Chains A and B, each alone.
Chain A
Amino acid sequence: MHEWDFAATLADMDLLMLGLWNTLQVFVLALVFGIPLGLGLALGRMSRIPVLSQVCLFLIEFFRTTPPLVQLFWFFFALPILISAQMTPFVASVLTFSIQSSAFFAEIFRGGINSIDKGQWEAAKAIGMTQKSSLRRIILPQAVKRMIPAFAERSIELLKTTTLISTVSYADLMFQANDLASKTFRPLEVYTIVAVMYFFLILVFSQLTILLEYRLAKSGEGTMR
């Protein structure tokens, strides 16, 4: 039977905390770039210009149906040769996950915007708003409220997918764990602690989501029954 010994792992906890910090950096940046990009893709997809709509549809479907790990490898190993530029693991990670999650966010935006009653568009038009300003001032504020649960779910998914960046040697939590496991020869303890860290990190996020959904349900705009 194995003797559990967490001492070696706990002694190097600062390594893991650094990894956690790096994970969160990529996560936040991917959200910051991914959400506006997703809105752009969704609007392009709904555009009446056939070419634009088809291109956006292709991009959305392509990034939704290919595995994120393949995308990451492509952006890290293939893209630098293609554009003959240096690529750091950090840039490749942020790039991949911004684009990948924007494809998913686009579908959420589209669903949310489509779910708003057509009468709202007509009402805005009736008081003389252009399409652009009615989208910005009437439709989106209502749609975003309905999209929040789906957004939160997708963000949690993104947080879990960021573990992949350890494969391109970016020092995220997973990478630091691999490092520490080979240094201490204590894979059981290291990976168990890391699993627990991820568990609580994601649990906090999902609890916040539930709280948010509950508040939205109270204001009559939620999706909770």
Chain B
Amino acid sequence: MEYTWNFTSVFAYWNVLAIGLLGTVKLFIICTVLGLGGGLIMGMLRYSKSRWVSYPAMLYVEVFRNTPVLVQIIWFFFALPVLTGIEVSPFLAAILGITLNTIAFSSEVFRGGIQSIEREQWEAGKAIGMSYAQAMRRVILPQALKRMLPPLTSRGIEVFKMSTLASIVAYPEMLQQAKLIASYEFNPIEAYTVVALIFFVVLLPLVQLTYMLERRFGKSDA
């Protein structure tokens, strides 16, 4: 019953974990940048007045919001190669799944943010001779971004956590590396505890940041 914890067997493999952390961070950066960038574009398409643009965008968002990320990653990994004949690496499958999912979720944040700006702002932009694109870029988005900052930060945190799913297609991120260590050293307790703690330590400051942003930008227009 009394279990002696032995963390040295995990720290002996610190380089294995470091590779995992690198893999996780790589996934996080690529998926966040592409996901939020794509989300902005998708959000604007969703907001478009032309039905030929807004309906397909809506279909995309609903499909990716209403299916689990894991199903998406596995679909890209196992099913897409059959369909296209192109080999899909674990890295690419994870990026595709997480990014496309993030685009769908963040596009709703962007759309909500853009819609929350009063109509008068558009009219004022028009009145001083701005085109639609100019008003969007110089009047609407700067104001909307401030309101969207807290939910977008939460999206980023979500992406960081989602990156663990890449372990299912054996991409060497942190969890996958911990699995490796656990199978070598028979120390699942320590290996998984360390990984959980690393995630906690990395993400806790980010979560605190979200709370701070929410207090500052949440409702007011400070």
A121 within 8 A of B: no
A214 within 8 A of B: no
Chain B contact residue count (CB 8 A cutoff) = 40
Question: How long is the Cα–Cα vector from A73 to B64 in the complex, in angstroms?
Answer: 26
Q: Tell me whether B192 and A73 are in contact (CB under 8 A).
A: yes
- Closest residue of chain A to B168, judged by CB? A167
Question: How long is the Cα–Cα vector from A167 to B167 in the complex, in angstroms?
Answer: 10
Q: Interface size bucket, A side?
A: 35 or more
Given contacts A61-B204, A188-B83, contact A82 B189 (CB under 8 A): yes
Question: Interface segment, A42-50, A189-197, A215-223?
Answer: A189-197
Q: Tell me whether A195 and B164 are in contact (CB under 8 A).
A: no
Q: Tell me whether B78 and A174 are in contact (CB under 8 A).
A: no
Question: How long is the Cα–Cα vector from A81 to B30 in the complex, in angstroms?
Answer: 37
- Closest residue of chain B to A4, judged by CB? B83
Q: Tell me whether B164 and A203 are in contact (CB under 8 A).
A: no
B134 within 8 A of A: no
B184 within 8 A of A: no
Question: Interface segment, A29-37, A63-71, A128-136, A138-146?
Answer: A63-71
A187 within 8 A of B: yes
Q: Tell me whether A2 and B83 are in contact (CB under 8 A).
A: yes
Q: Tell me whether B71 and A194 are in contact (CB under 8 A).
A: yes
Question: How long is the Cα–Cα vector from A177 to B72 in the complex, in angstroms?
Answer: 13
Shortest CB–CB separation between residue A36 and chain B, in angstroms? 24
Residues of A85-143 whose CB lies within 8 A of B: none
Question: How long is the Cα–Cα vector from A70 to B178 in the complex, in angstroms?
Answer: 10
Given contacts A66-B196, A66-B200, contact A191 B78 (CB under 8 A): yes
- Closest residue of chain B to A166, judged by CB? B70
Q: Tell me whether B78 and A181 are in contact (CB under 8 A).
A: yes
Residues of B154-205 whose CB lies within 8 A of A: 157, 161-165, 167-168, 175, 178-179, 182, 188-189, 192-193, 195-196, 199-200, 203-204
A160 within 8 A of B: yes
B69 partner, pick from A65, A160, A187, A188, beta carbons under 8 A: A160
Interface residues of B (CB under 8 A from A): 1, 3, 62-63, 66-72, 74-75, 78-79, 82-83, 157, 161-165, 167-168, 175, 178-179, 182, 188-189, 192-193, 195-196, 199-200, 203-204, 207
Residue contacts A-B, CB under 8 angstroms, 5 given: A65-B207, A67-B175, A77-B189, A166-B70, A174-B71
4 additional A-B pairs beyond A74-B193, A160-B67, A191-B78, beta carbons within 8 Å, are A67-B161, A82-B189, A167-B168, A174-B68
10 pairs of A and B residues whose beta carbons are closest in the complex: A77-B188, A187-B78, A78-B189, A160-B68, A67-B161, A65-B203, A67-B164, A188-B79, A163-B70, A188-B82
